[in-house]
Amino acid sequence: MQKPATQKRLPAFFPLEACVLRLRALYESRGFKQISPPMFEDYSLYLDNKNFLGADWILTFTDPVGRLRAIKPDVTLSIAKSTVSGQLDCTEKLYYTDDVVRFSPGEGCRALPQIGLEWIGRDDPFSNLEVLDLALRSLALIGEESAVDVSHLGFSSGLLEDANIPPGLERELLAAIHDKSIHGVAALLDTNGIPSEDKERILTLAGLCGPFPSELGRAKTLVRGPKMERAFEELLTLADIVRPTAGQAVNLDFSVVSDLDYYNGLIFTGYINGIPGVVCGGGRYDNLMKKLGKRSGAIGFAIQLHRLESYFAKYSRQLDVLITYKNPCNWKTLLELVSDFNEQGLTVRCESEGADISGISYAKLINFPEGGSAQ
């Protein structure tokens, strides 16, 4: 029996759709299971973890039994919340394609599509390696030229703790480091009377940015104390094993920061040349799991699909073959011709002679029954 043409290759989906399918295939190939997180959660989940969201506005409503509910602004919190509290017997490897709903006064209410994955389980060095590897491969599937910035919150926070930086100042310093504002970091250190040796180390940390393996050499000079040593070892392991694909750069960059109440350990952001913001963001969030009363650790990332929309818009959705047929003609032969093209994996559209085909994009035009090519 003949196989349908669609089994021979992917038809001409919209490029973004095709990209999502490729990403799903990647995650499925590593044994990750697709899940559908709930659309609504109790508002208290987001209120209690507002800093994790990094969003000021949450859309809420009161349900028929009087509970204050929220339209989910984030997927990870829902997944973390629904994880069993005890130690997992086996790692949970989950992925999702879902919308989160965000509101801003400037843009109003927007549903933002995401695809992401979560690795939940025991503290296992392979989790960092596999998740970072999948992030790199995901970016390579999206664009020809990509970059990933890798950081480690244990390294940054270890250095700030070693310098006895109080929590309030720590938050301000991390914000300035995130902005790559060396002058801002220096001003904060001066204003707060931080000793010159600590100041120099913090300024070095803020300025560290370069190819992953080589920049680690500079980072090594900053290591002091068990927390930084452990973080450095983790980074060293990643640098030894993780390999970027062609057209991909992996940098060590401590300007990648996140809220220390939720995140810890490895953290990273990914970029595609031609897309002006962060495409992929992820990291370890063991602290969030602890906060939610879970014994498992977790790491994951999300890809902001809405940022890809304009990037893929440049690729037109072109047909391989457009056939214009006389009416009447030999219908049987026409259908066989269409099937032959499909068998070759080509997309075909038929229009009767005289139809307005000016809005149709195609690679090849065939007039049937003459069979003459018009291009």
Partner 1 sequence: MINVALPKGRLSDEVFALLEKSGYKGASLAKNSRSLILEDEENGIRYFLVKPSDVHVYVLHGAADIGVVGKDTLLEATPDVYELLDLRLGVCDMIVAGPQGFVDPGDSPLRVATKFPNIARKYYGEKGREIQLIALNGSIELAPLVGLSDVVVDIVQTGGTLKANNLAILETILPISARLIANIASYKFKAKEIERMKLALAGEVPG
Binding site for partner 1 (CB under 8 A): 145, 147, 149, 179-181, 183-184, 249, 251, 255, 271-273, 275-278
Closest CB to partner 1 among 130 and 253? 253
Residues 6+ apart with CB under 8 A from 185: 173, 176, 177, 202, 203, 206
Name which of 61, 156, 97, 155 is nearest 308 in CA terms.
97
Strand partners, 209: 253
Burial 321-336 (b: 16+ CB within 10 A, else e): bbbbbeeeeeeeebee
Min separation Cβ 361 and partner 1, Å: 27
Closest CB to partner 1 among 225 and 276? 276
Min separation Cβ 355 and partner 1, Å: 40
Closest CB to partner 1 among 100 and 176? 176
Closest CB to partner 1 among 43 and 311? 311
Closest CB to partner 1 among 149 and 286? 149
Min separation Cβ 245 and partner 1, Å: 16
d(CA 338, CA 335): 5
Min separation Cβ 251 and partner 1, Å: 8
Closest CB to partner 1 among 183 and 332? 183
Q: Cβ atoms within 10 A of the Cβ of 240, count?
A: 11
Min separation Cβ 319 and partner 1, Å: 32
d(CA 120, CA 79): 10
Alpha helix stretches (DSSP H) within 9-124: 15-29, 43-48, 50-53, 76-82
Closest CB to partner 1 among 125 and 276? 276
Tell me which H or E stretch contains 345: none
Contact indicator for 116, 302 with CB cutoff of 8 Å = yes
CA 284 to chain centre: 14
Q: Beta strands 280-284 and 297-304: pairing type?
A: antiparallel
Min separation Cβ 62 and partner 1, Å: 28
Min separation Cβ 147 and partner 1, Å: 4
Residue 210: both structure tokens together? 């370069």
Residue 1: both structure tokens together? 């029996």
